[in-house]
Amino acid sequence: MASAYCVKCRTKREIKDPKNVTLKNGKKAVTGTCPVCGTKLFKIGG
């Protein structure tokens, strides 16, 4: 399970509904939402 830092919770959360994306610079990333507060989470390197 991927996890990312949630700025709203100010802690690491597991990414809910993670999606693999590719950034404009070609790097892989994972986006999803925080399971606690619903804030969008973003992690580089998926």
Closest approach of Zn ion to the CB of residue 7, in Å: 8
Go through the chain and tell me how many residues it has.
46
Closest approach of Zn ion to the CB of residue 22, in Å: 25
Rounded to whole angstroms, how far apart are CA atoms 24 and 33?
21
Site for Zn ion, rule CB under 5 A: 6, 8-9, 34, 36-37, 39
Nearer to Zn ion, 17 or 27 (CB): 17
Nearer to Zn ion, 9 or 29 (CB): 9
Q: What is the dihedral of CA 31, 35, 39, 42, to 10 degrees?
A: -20
